[in-house]
Amino acid sequence: MTTTKRASARPRSRGRICMIAGYATRFGVAANGQHVIAAGAFTGLLKRGFSPKMLFGHEGDPVGKWVNLTEDEHGLFVVGRVDDRQAIEEVDSGRCQGFSLGRFVGIRKPIEGGISLCVEVLALPEISIVHEPGNPGALIEAFCMGAVNGHH
């Protein structure tokens, strides 16, 4: 039996750890001209202990893991460990500047200009690292790298 690597498999970072943090979304700000997320919209989801995947540009295999998700008066703040070499390089170079919520299920009501207000997010399968976030406040605020297991 022959095994082959999946085409979507991405190279992992060896000997380095990369942590990233920032707001996955900011409350009260229109994202992509489609929706605004209200303060408190993630409360129920967080109480249920949801764990969205960390993707790169909403595609492929996970590139790491979200290790902490919290909601404050500004938005949904995320902290994650990035394992994928390409994703790390894109963030380190400044080409990736933010985060983006994947397609989510929520309770919405229409507001002005065809935009909807999401008052409660019921499901969120992934949060991606992206080049340019749809929500202008969903920016990478902290990024750090270091060696692990004696690697330099």
Q: With 0-12 CB in 10 A as exposed, 13-18 as middle and 19+ as buried, what is 95?
A: exposed
Does 28 map to a domain? yes
Enter the DSSP assignment of 88.
Answer: H
Q: What does each C-alpha distance from 1 to 4, 5, 9, 114 come to in angstroms?
A: 10, 13, 20, 54
Residue 1 domain flag:
no
- CA pair distance 99, 25, nearest whole angstrom: 7
Is 9 inside any structural domain?
A: no
Q: Does residue 107 belong to any structural domain of this protein?
A: yes
In the chain, how many domains are there?
Answer: 1
Secondary structure (3-state) at 134: coil
The pTM of this model reads 0.85
Q: What is the pLDDT of residue 150?
A: 54
Domain-embedded: residue 8? no
Q: Say if 11 falls within a structural domain.
A: no
| Residue 119, pLDDT score | 95
Domain of residue 109, CATH code: 3.20.16.10
Task: Give the residue ranges of the chain where pLDDT is below 70.
Answer: 1-15, 148-152
Give 107-145 pLDDT, tens digit per residue.
989 888 889 999 999 999 999 999 999 999 999 999 998
Are 20 and 140 spatial neighbours (Cβ–Cβ below 8 Å)?
Answer: yes
Q: What is the distance between the alpha carbons of residues 84 and 107, in angstroms, rounded to a whole number?
A: 34
134 lies in some domain = yes
Q: Annotate 120-139 with b (16+ C-beta within 10 A) or e (fewer).
A: bbeebebbbbbeebbbebbe
Reading the block at residue 92, the tokens are: 């380190």
Within a domain: residue 36? yes
71 lies in which domain range?
16-141
Rounded distance, CA 130 to CA 117, Å?
A: 23
